[in-house]
């Protein structure tokens, strides 16, 4: 068994921690998403470094990077692009928007209106956009990194369920521990822009590393019983009394892919139930929709995921 996936995680963690204090906990989740070609949603209150984490990851991946700032007046054409009349050629030419990049950071995605959020659906799922009755492909390694504030914050729109389902996983950033916050103040408390200087020191990953990790993940064996376990979790979520929307088939596929890569991260060539459980919260929680009664009582999607894992029989 090769060590490509574990080496990839080590490289990602090394580069992230150059800039983001406490990024060790995010490195594994991001390694899973990158290896599976999945998009990433980072959620947390303002001021915790969500944008810095996304920019650091984008620089680590290399390739062309573009940023979209979510605002209420952002329109679909602002991110996809528009036809522009060229005086010299006497015809309309398509001017690509920021979606045509290898890594796209959508900052505060839930401050953009529903129409603009929906414009991302085709791009995230099919890696293409439709403009003026033409289909235009996006880069092969197209990746969306999006940050969002909690939905109860002023000026935010809830993301459509169809768009949430297109994010392979969601990372939730909380307030750092006192030691970590002390290091942040020490490192970035000066008057100079230390964060930007440190960001420029990040080294891009060799493209072949990511390709090798993906090939290794394909070779990891998944027993029929483990596929059945993922299906049992999905069905249990759809029948849960406190959920109005459970895990989709796309979500079940994402969980199975995440379990493969988790197995690779521990150096195994087969998937175990623990490999399904470890990434379950990242993959499942943002796809679940609570019933109004459960939401009023303060139940969280994370608690429901824990209940599902505890109640669903594990295959021997």
212 closest CA partner among 63, 17, 9, 56 = 9
- Predicted confidence at residue 177, as pLDDT, reads 86
The CATH number of 4-72+101-201 is which of 3.40.50.620, 3.40.50.300, 3.90.950.10, 3.50.50.100? 3.40.50.300
- Predicted confidence at residue 281, as pLDDT, reads 96
Residue ranges of the chain with per-residue pLDDT less than 50: none
List the alpha helices (DSSP H) in the chain.
4-19, 24-35, 50-61, 76-80, 114-118, 120-126, 161-164, 178-188, 194-199, 207-218, 224-238, 249-265, 273-277, 280-284, 292-296, 301-311
pTM: 0.90
Domains 4-72+101-201 and 220-311 share a fold: no
At the second CATH level, the architecture of 220-311 is: Orthogonal Bundle (1.10)
- Predicted confidence at residue 62, as pLDDT, reads 82
- Predicted confidence at residue 245, as pLDDT, reads 94
- Predicted confidence at residue 154, as pLDDT, reads 65
The ranges assigned to domains in the chain are 4-72+101-201, 220-311
């Amino acid at each position: 068994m090769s060590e490509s996936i574990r080496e990839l995680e080590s490289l990602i963690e090394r580069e992230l921690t150059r800039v983001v204090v406490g990024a060790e906990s995010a490195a594994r989740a991001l390694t899973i998403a990158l290896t599976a070609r999945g998009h990433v949603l980072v959620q947390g209150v303002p001021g915790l470094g969500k944008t810095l984490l996304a920019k650091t990851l984008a620089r680590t991946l290399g390739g062309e990077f573009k940023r979209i700032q979510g605002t209420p007046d952002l329109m679909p054409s602002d991110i996809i692009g528009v036809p522009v009349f060229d005086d010299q050629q006497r015809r309309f030419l398509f001017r690509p928007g920021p979606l045509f990049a290898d890594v796209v950071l959508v900052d505060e995605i839930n401050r953009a209106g529903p129409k603009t959020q929906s414009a991302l659906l085709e791009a995230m799922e099919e890696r293409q956009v439709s403009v003026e009755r033409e289909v235009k492909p996006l880069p092969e390694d197209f990746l969306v990194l999006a940050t969002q504030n909690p939905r109860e914050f002023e000026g935010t729109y809830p993301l459509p369920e169809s768009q949430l389902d297109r994010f392979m996983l969601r990372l939730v950033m909380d307030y750092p521990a006192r030691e970590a916050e002390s290091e942040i103040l020490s490192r970035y408390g000066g008057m100079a822009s230390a964060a930007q200087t440190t960001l420029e020191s990040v080294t891009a990953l060799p493209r072949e590393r990511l390709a090798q990790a993906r090939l290794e993940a394909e070779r990891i064996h998944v027993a029929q019983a483990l596929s059945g376990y993922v299906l049992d979790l999905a069905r249990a979520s759809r029948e849960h009394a406190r959920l109005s929307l459970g895990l989709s088939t796309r979500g079940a596929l994402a969980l199975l892919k995440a379990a493969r890569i988790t197995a690779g991260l521990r150096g195994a060539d087969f998937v175990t139930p623990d490999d399904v459980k470890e990434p379950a919260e990242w993959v499942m929680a943002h796809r679940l929709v609570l019933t109004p009664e459960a939401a009023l009582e303060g139940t969280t999607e994370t608690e429901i995921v824990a209940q599902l894992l505890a109640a669903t029989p594990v295959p021997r």
